[in-house]
Amino acid sequence: MGTTTIGTAIRLAESVLLAGGRKQARLNAWTSVCENRRYAADREAARTASIAK
C-alpha cells in the first residue's frame, strides 16, 4: 500500500466524518474575512485621519 493510497483513504474518511461541519466552517471563515476587512478599513481610516491632522 503506497502513501497515496493511505492519503486518499484519510481524505475520504475526513470528508465523510466532517461533512456536516463544513458548512459551519465556511460560514465561520467568511465571518472572519468580513471582520478582518472591517478592521482593515478602521485602521486605514485612523491612519488617514492621523495624517490629515
Q: What is the pLDDT of residues 15-46, one digit of tens each?
A: 888 777 877 888 899 999 999 999 999 999 99
pTM of the model: 0.56
Output 4 or 42, whichever has higher pLDDT: 42
Helix (H) or strand (E) holding 2: none
What SS3 state is found at 17? helix
Q: Which of 19, 1, 23, 20 is nearest to 11 (CA)?
A: 19
Q: Where do runs of H (alpha helix) occur along the chain?
A: 3-52
Please tell me the distance from the alpha carbon of residue 35 to that of residue 38, in angstroms, as a whole number: 5
Please tell me the distance from the alpha carbon of residue 27 to that of residue 6, in angstroms, as a whole number: 30
Q: What is the pLDDT of residue 3?
A: 63
